[in-house]
Amino acid sequence: MTLEKKMKLLIGTNNQNKVREIKEILDREFPRKFVILTPADVLDNQINIEETGKTLEENAYLKSSEFYSLTKIPSISDDTGLEIEALKGEPGVNSARYSGEHSNDAENRKKVLNLLNGNPVEKRKARFRTVICYVEEGKTEYIEGICSGRIIEEERGTSGFGYDSIFVPDGYVKTFAEMTAEEKNILSHRGKAVRNLVEFLKTL
């Protein structure tokens, strides 16, 4: 397989924020090289896969392998965690449900800010880590992207999602939530992971 031909690629998630970010990056880096599909495009019913893994890698594999099994289309799924140094790597794999099984983004951000309350800048180091798992017949590959930065003391910005409004990447003053989609995609963990994914796809 080469990128000279359009290839089908299923983004194995129901999260439209993730779909949008991945599609924007692929379209910019390699325009007209992919037919991007989502589960809603090829499956009659919405599939919700429980993330029971203990690592980002395990959760990404659970999702991509299930979607490949259902569709037989090369599938990618990712899992992303915010790893905060002062919290010994938390929330990590539990980032989406840090303040409880049915918590939302705002509650998760509030918990992080409360736990870091009073910490000086040097004790607010953090990084986002995205792991993408690619699955097709006879092949499983893990691709990683990391963005290092820090957690600020209060939320700023209205774009993005998750922890974007409290995270500032190294070398910048804006949070991810204050950046345009183009700015964020250049710097972000998911942007780096998707570009690394494309480099992997070139080798197939």
Residue 74 vs residue 181, higher pLDDT: 74
Task: Place 4 in a pLDDT band, splitting at 50, 70 and 90.
Answer: low
Say if CB 145 and CB 194 are below 8 A apart. Answer: yes
CATH architecture of 7-201: Alpha-Beta Complex (3.90)
| 78 is an active site residue | no
Per residue in 35-70, pLDDT tens? 889 999 999 888 889 889 999 999 999 999 999 999
pLDDT for 2 beyond 60: no
Q: Backbone phi, then psi, for 6, in 5-degree steps? A: -70, 135
| Whether pTM exceeds 0.95 | no
CA distance 188 to 148: 9
Catalytic residue among 79, 105, 164, 170: 79
Q: State residue 150's pLDDT score.
A: 98
Per residue in 69-115, pLDDT tens? 999 999 999 999 999 999 999 999 999 999 998 889 999 999 999 99
Q: State residue 171's pLDDT score.
A: 97
Q: State residue 3's pLDDT score.
A: 46
Per residue in 8-33, pLDDT tens? 999 999 888 888 888 887 887 777 77
